[in-house]
Amino acid sequence: MDSVKLTRREIGRLVHNWIGVSGGYLGNFSYARHDRFWLDVCDVCVDTSGFDGTTRECFEHTLFEVDASDQAAALRAILEEYPPQQQDPDRPKYRTPALYREILGWISRLETGEVTVEVTLERASDVVQRALDDASTLLRASGPQGAVDRVHTAMHGYLMSLCAEVGVVLDGRPTMNQLFKSLRESHPALADVGAREEDVKRILGSMATILDALNPVRNNASVAHPNPELVGEPEATLVINTVRTLLSYLESKRRRSSIPDG
């Protein structure tokens, strides 16, 4: 189950963007309350006073080291202790609905070992976000085959929104491959792909080929239409993972670009 456990990046997002940190203090955790949290929730003994670091660092270390089921139990306890709140305009990334959904996705992954659809997109359109939400619901209810159509819609809509963001206009009803090609040529976030530029561009070119293949899979082997045969469950999971990977990559590049939010 190590492959489904929380990453250090996910733990950092939980700590800084959900629980909250002030100095070395983590939320409302004192040493004693922190130790009691782990004992009550996971039956894990922690001695924060003997840890060589802050309460935050002790929490991050403990959460990273425990097994997947204990990580899931800890996340559920955190969401109960620190519920979603009304959005603070001064802290736009703090306890957002998108992060709440993402944490629920982590819990599902930890408890079931299965792929989840949740991806945090700061500026996703209503259509894209609804498609992702629908995909998550269908994935849990009927497995990955039921979610292929919705992740396809989310990917298509997100590519369209990125093109609109930089004023790229394509005639007719452009395919995902056409949108992705235009983004690679025009979006400033994709102008610099860092070290091993040619190799990275080859990877992105391969992703374009994958996007092109997703269309017939969606149209001819998903529940988007009354198709007599559906794509296999492992292959549906491959589709979902591929879309999640590309969505996460593009969103990460967009956040690092010079395009201002708003």
Within this chain, do residues 4 and 91 fall inside the same structural domain, yes or no?
Answer: yes
Q: Residue 253: which domain range?
A: 117-262
Same domain for 208 and 92: no
Is 220 found in the same domain as 193?
Answer: yes
Question: Do residues 149 and 35 share a domain?
Answer: no
pLDDT at res. 33? 94
Question: What tokens appear for 79 in the block?
Answer: 């969401």
Last residue of a domain, one of 92, 113, 134: 113
**What are the tens digits of pLDDT across the range 106-156?**
887 788 776 666 666 766 667 787 888 888 777 766 678 888 998 999 899
Structure tokens at 113: 């070992």
Question: Are residue 78 and residue 172 in the same domain, yes or no?
Answer: no
By C-alpha distance, which of 227, 257, 243 is closest to 116?
243
Give pLDDT, residue 89: 65
pLDDT at 117: 64
Residues 71 and 102 in one domain: yes
- pLDDT tens digit string along 145-200? 888 998 999 899 989 988 888 888 888 889 999 999 999 988 888 888 889 999 99
Pick from 113, 142, 177: which residue ends a domain? 113
Report the C-alpha gap between 26 and 23 in whole angstroms.
8
CA 155 to chain centre: 13
Same domain, yes or no: 244 and 203:
yes
CA pseudo-torsion sign 26, 261, 118, 139: positive
Quote the pTM value: 0.59
1 and 108 housed in the same domain: yes
How does residue 240 score in pLDDT terms, banded at 50, 70 and 90? confident
Same domain for 69 and 157, yes or no, is no
For residue 244, count CB atoms less than 10 angstroms from its CB and return exposed for 0-12, middle for 13-18, buried for 19 or more.
buried
Q: Residue 135's closest CA among 109, 159, 111, 117?
A: 117
Q: Are residues 5 and 39 in the same domain?
A: yes
Please identify, among 83, 113, 143, the residue that sits at the C-terminal boundary of a domain: 113
CA-to-CA distance for 102 and 83, rounded, in angstroms? 14
Number of domains in the chain: 2
| CATH number of the domain where residue 190 is located | 1.20.120
Q: Residues 6 or more apart from 200 whose CB is under 8 A from it?
A: 193, 194
Enclosing H/E stretch for 25: strand 25-26
Check whether residue 30 and residue 133 sit in a common domain.
no
Residues 128, 99 share a domain: no
Output Rg (C-alpha) for the chain, integer angstroms: 20
